[in-house]
Structure 1
């Protein structure tokens, strides 16, 4: 029995699709997890010298430090963290004042926005 070119081409395409699907499933199952992204936006008229982000769970603790965030600058960080668990943000201002808040609690979004204004810090969702 001989295969026509059409049937041979269909077998090759089906084999390639099956192979790609299996490879994707194997690769996806070994991926460690999805990161939580947090975008910080400095809406103040002055540079923010220091922003400290801390979060943890039963087996790890993480601390991220952002420095010298200029007016209207945006920065995106990724946290090894699930949405809704919350993270602590401490913003240290040039005059010595601090904003200290737990943000991101209760939201299921994988991308959070944090806005830092003259009147305070807002967001986490």
Structure 2
């Protein structure tokens, strides 16, 4: 086999092995930084929610994460660069124009929070919805 033929099949093989190996290694033992908060936002209304805004701040920073077009019965999971227990604000802008608001995330014992949006309110808690 000549050198150019060997190169043609060797390069794709090495790329495949490299990408597969790096993907497996990434999932094993991956941990989140201490100042990380996972928030599951679920739409339990009958209509798509056009916009959900989550605002949070630390001593030096203020940030907003926006979720767009959250379909009925769907959940979106976001990761915030925010220390558990400090809380955050949630504003759900419903399709009918109403805006629901809540202060959530004030549970220092959990890094996983949930915000369940209904037609009348936002239910805040710990863990997955």
Instruction: State the TM-score, normalized to the length of structure 1.
Output: 0.71
- Residues 35 and 84 in structure 2, CA contact (< 8 A), matched pair in contact too: no
Aligned to 1:6: none
Say yes or no: does 1:104 pair with 2:108: no
TM superposition outliers: structure 1 runs of 4+ over 4 Å: none
How far, CA to CA, are the matches of 1:32 and 1:112 in structure 2?
16
How far, CA to CA, are the matches of 1:107 and 1:123 in structure 2?
14
Aligned to 2:55: 54
Q: Where is the strand percentage greater, Structure 1 or Structure 2?
A: 1
Task: Give the total of aligned pairs.
Answer: 95
1:55-70 matches, within 5 Å, as: 55-70=56-71
Structure 1 residue 32 displacement after superposition: 5.5
Aligned to 1:118: 119
Q: Which runs of 5+ in 2 are unaligned?
A: 1-31
- Residues 105 and 124 in structure 1, CA contact (< 8 A), matched pair in contact too: no
Q: Which moved more, 1:31-40 or 1:65-74?
A: 31-40
How far, CA to CA, are the matches of 1:124 and 1:58 in structure 2?
24
Aligned to 2:73: 72
